[in-house]
Amino acid sequence: MTNEELWQTVLGEIELSLSKASFTTWFKNTAIQEIDDNKVIIVVPNIFAKEWLEKKYKKLILDSIQKHFPKVVSFGCIVGTAQVVPEKELETNKNPHHLKRKVSKKPLYKIQQSTGFRTNLNSKYSFENLVISSNNDLAYAACSSVATSPGDNYNPLFIYGGVGLGKTHLLQATGNQIFQENPAFLVRYISMERFANELVGAIQNKKIKEFKNKYIDLDLLILDDIQFLAGKEKTQEEFFHIFESLYQHGKQIILSSDRPPKSIPTLEDRLRSRFEGGMIADVNKPNLETRVAIINKKLEEKNTTVNEDIINYLAEKIHHNVRELEGALNKIIVTSQLKNKETTLKEVIELTKDIISTSHQNELSPEKILSSVADFYSIKTDEISGRCRKKKVIKPRQVAIYLLRKDVKLSFPDIGETIGGRDHSTAIYAYEKIKKELEKNELLKDQLNFIREKFVDY
Ligand code: ADP
Ligand code: MG
């Protein structure tokens, strides 16, 4: 059995015990470099695959190898290009594990055009300084697979999750790696809010064609926080055409949102189905252990230390938003530097009082419900209790009434009072209407659950 045959057999076995996504992500472009007595050396395309294979899939790989080579007791990975077959053969080899890494064939003029072109990438975000744990490992796996072969596997890649949980970090890190490995790529990172503003500007200045061209030319488009598409018909329309063009040319698109596609209200069906046709991965809140690891990573980056009691205190108390955790940590570091002495736990408790009290607002209040509902439907809180009778406002109003009854258990007269001094019969009507609709409308059910997550979760 040659090394290649052995590896193909091992891959065949491993493939059976993993999901397709995990398998492609971690085993594409791998090969056995050599087998020396009792150790196998595997070539993998990047450091992430190395870590993953050596840590997470160690037993799986070793067990499989040992079936054929019982003498082998260990294996190690090295980063490199799997070059077991001469290049020519590789190109005709249909085996997906041997696909050659894509080489950018971009004509020079494009690179020149790109002078002064802004990628908006921020080099401070990388995969190395991201802590990977069960809350984000799927999203990370998908991003790292996209980074290895943009446009190939997961297009579009859609990452979603709550505020401050590392979505932008993941997107930027992916962009940075792709740009590093493909310097000729036209890459652009932009938030949906800015994209929409740029579009408005382009319309006003009659430069819509230039605007579109700028995006259609890209090799990689990263759009952050696309929940801002909700209710923006014109932006959705233009974005759809750009999306189609990029997609059809095999250009990678990466999107993020605070919610899954189905929970973005008023998103055109054609966009929703495009988003759902790619890879969707979520990021969740990190557990305590991971929060400690994140703090340590940040300290390492800043080349500083903080007392362990303080680390544990922060990790325990700030649990739903890594940005706040980082903010609190920075506050402590700066204070220590200013005073030129270590901050005590007592001082830390005082310093982080505000952040921690807002993290702990457990009780459901009518205000919280109204603002969550308004937020979800991209309208103003006032509009829910206002007099407007447009469809765009009526639905959110009814949903708010339903939740006030169901979750806060307000009486119907109190609900009427809360929603702009309406009669209790209005509240009853709305409540019954939503209740009925929920029996048959799965989408509405998901949307309600999403709104609920925002206020019950912490
Ligand atoms: P989001 O875009 O989801 O709101 P960000 O990507 O802006 O969140 O993350 C907020 C901050 O938390 C950033 O500074 C980011 O580096 C940090 N962060 C979030 N998750 C992690 C993680 N797993 N490891 C390291 N830093 C993280
Ligand atoms: Mg973000």
Q: What confidence category does residue 23 fall into, taking pLDDT thresholds of 50, 70 and 90?
A: confident
* pLDDT of the residue at 117: 64
Q: How many residues does the chain have?
A: 458
168: amino acid identity, one letter = T
- Counting other chains too, the contacts that 176-180 makes at CB distance below 8 Å and 24 or more residues apart are 176/121, 176/123, 176/125, 176/126, 177/126, 177/127, 177/144, 177/147, 178/146, 178/147, 178/150, 178/220, 178/252, 179/119, 179/121, 179/220
CA distance 1 to 6: 6
Q: What is the mean pLDDT of residues 22-40?
A: 84
Contact assessment for residue 384 and residue 400, using Cβ atoms and an 8 Å cutoff: yes
The larger pLDDT score, comparing residue 32 to residue 83, is at 32
Sheet bearing 252-257, strands edge to edge = 187-191, 220-224, 252-257, 157-161, 279-283
Q: Which residue has the tokens 């009486």?
A: 411
- Tell me which residue of 358, 380, 355 sits closest to 370, measured CA to CA: 380
Say if residues 145 and 155 touch (Cβ distance below 8 Å).
Answer: no
Among residues 192, 259, 263, which one has the least CA distance to residue 221? 192
Mean pLDDT computed over 157-180 = 96
Residue 52 or residue 122, greater confidence? 122
Q: Residue 66: how many CA atoms within 13 Å on its side-chain side? A: 11
Structure tokens at 261: 């596609």
What sign for the dihedral angle of Cα 95, 96, 100, 102?
positive
Measured in whole angstroms, the distance separating CA 399 from the mean position of its chain's CA atoms is 28
- Minimum CA distance residue for ligand 1 atom 16: 169
The dihedrals phi and psi of 249, each to the nearest 5 degrees, come to: -90, 15
Q: Do 43 and 33 contact (CB within 8 A), yes or no?
A: yes
Residue type, 275: F
Confidence grade of residue 146 (pLDDT, cut at 50, 70, 90):
very high
Q: Where are the alpha helices (DSSP H) in 191-307?
A: 192-204, 208-216, 233-248, 269-276, 288-301
**Which ligand is the nearest neighbour of the Cα of 124?**
1
Q: How far apart are CA 250 and CA 244, in angstroms?
A: 10
| C-alpha of residue 320 to centroid of ligand 2, in Å | 14
Question: How far is C-alpha 51 from the chain's CA centre?
Answer: 21
Q: Edge-to-edge strands of the sheet including 39-44?
A: 31-36, 39-44, 74-79
Say what the pLDDT of residue 450 is: 80
Task: Say what the pTM is.
Answer: 0.66
Q: Which two tokens stand for residue 222?
A: 């990263």
Q: Tell me the ligand closest to 327's alpha carbon.
A: 1
Q: What percentage of the chain exceeds 90 in pLDDT? A: 60
State mean pLDDT over 103-117: 39
User: Is the CB of 166 inside a 6 Å radius of any atom of ligand 1?
Assistant: yes
Of the candidate ranges 87-91, 316-320, 322-326, the one whose mean pLDDT is the lowest: 87-91
Distance 292 CA to ligand 1 centre (A): 14
Name the residue of 322, 326, 329, 355 whose CB sits within 8 Å of the most ligand 1 atoms, as the mutation to test its pocket: 322
What mean pLDDT is predicted for residues 310-338?
Answer: 93
Q: Using an 8 Å Cβ cutoff, are 220 and 188 in contact?
A: yes
Angle between helices 47-55 and 137-148 (to 10 degrees): 140
Q: How far is the CA of 297 from the centre of ligand 1 (A)?
A: 12
Q: Which of 20-24, 89-93, 113-117, 413-417 has the lowest mean pLDDT?
A: 89-93
Centre of ligand 2 to C-alpha 303, Å, is 25
Helix (H) or strand (E) holding 159: strand 157-161
- C-beta of 294 in contact with ligand 1 (< 6 A): yes
Kindly give the number of the ligand 1 atom that is closest to the alpha carbon of 166. 6
**Cα–Cα–Cα angle for 120, 121, 126, rounded to 5 degrees:** 165
How far is Cα 440 from Cα 444, in angstroms, rounded to an integer?
A: 9
DSSP helix/strand/coil, 396: helix
- Across all residues in the chain, what is the average pLDDT? 86
Q: Sign (positive/negative) of CA torsion 62, 63, 68, 71? A: positive
What pLDDT is stored for residue 19 in this prediction?
75
Query: For ligand 1, atom 20, which residue shows the shortest CA distance?
Result: 166
What integer pLDDT is reported at residue 362 of this predicted model? Answer: 56
SS3 of the chain: helix, strand, coil, percent, to 5: 60, 10, 35
* Residue carrying structure tokens 């590896």: 7
- Any atom of ligand 1 within 6 Å of the Cβ of 110: no
Residue 88 has pLDDT above 70, yes or no: no
Is there an atom of ligand 1 within 6 Å of 259 CB?
Answer: no
